[in-house]
Structure 1
Amino acid sequence: MAGEATAATRRSFRVPETMPDGVHKRKLEKIRKTLSHNADVKRSYRKTLKRMGLEVPSPLPSLENGVKRSAPKDADSSDEDKYQNAARPMEEADQKHVGRHNKKPKQSRYKREEAAAAKLRGELEAAQIERERREVERRQRIEQRQTNKTKMTQFTRTGQPKLGARVDVLLDKIRKIT
């Protein structure tokens, strides 16, 4: 059988590089991801069995003249017990994490949309409050600059600058820096 691939000559699934983007390429990529995921699941299963000290099945089924060999019919039932016992702790752990009681009840579409609208309203209100706060700060800065400008440009009747007002402005600048 020259057309059949043996276990030694098998290669991973590959997507041709020259294939145009579209439905077929996406389908091939989906198949590749599925195959990779299944291989990861099987690998982790074998690792778990090995960690528990149980017999680990071979990763690939053995082929003899192109025909799969199955396990002998008169195999011990103790092997089956081992696998069942190995599966029990895993099942119990899965039930603890993914029990029906732990699942959230499904929300109705109306409630979901209502919750989303309430969240959006909250965000808009917060943005409005932040905008108003920035506007108030801006007005205060403009007012402060205006008062500082008037203090710096004050002169006496004889044309001398009023240094007391200027010193106050300069001291305020120094306090802000430190």
Structure 2
Amino acid sequence: MAPTRPPKKQTKGFSVGPANLPDGTHKRKVQKIKKDLIYKAKLKKQYAKLKAREQAAAAATAQKSVHDREDGADRTQEESTEPAPEPNLEPHPDRLKMLENGSPEPGPEPASTQHHDRRGRRSRPQPFKREAELGQRKREEAEARRKAREEAEKERARKAAERERIRKLMSKARSSGPNGQRKLGRESTVLLEKAKRLVGKT
């Protein structure tokens, strides 16, 4: 009776990260890591095979006799002493055409630079544009009101100063002179200014 072999164990593929990840960024990242690991493992296997092949070739050359190795070296020297073919000094036909026609016209820009320029020119979206415009309008209105208020205050101050000046002039004009009479000349100039101002207003 032949000895029974144990059944071959079914190897399950390795897993990276939890198995119940939902579709999305994390799952794609885990899949990428797994692919990278598989690729690196294959690369290591290929490197190991190449290294083993080179070591076998090196061992075979080391086992050759000294005479065989010298013959091989002589052969390579003979091959290297053979004259090399002269290089073709004729310029390429396309280069000849370019030289005859002159420098070519500058072509259109590559699509990538055009795309970059187009993106650079595009205005950035402003999420609160309407609110910013409203705030700017309110600031302008407040500035206009402040200026109008300042102008009105200046006008009031000017009128008050004018009234005070006229009052002082009238008090001086009404005060009696050295002989107890009113100073009609002074009073008349003040009254004339007052009349002119009233006529100018109307």
Same fold (TM over 0.5): no
TM range (shorter): 0.3 to 0.5
| Greater relative CO (CA pairs within 8 A, separation 6+) | 1
TM-score calculated relative to the size of structure 1: 0.37
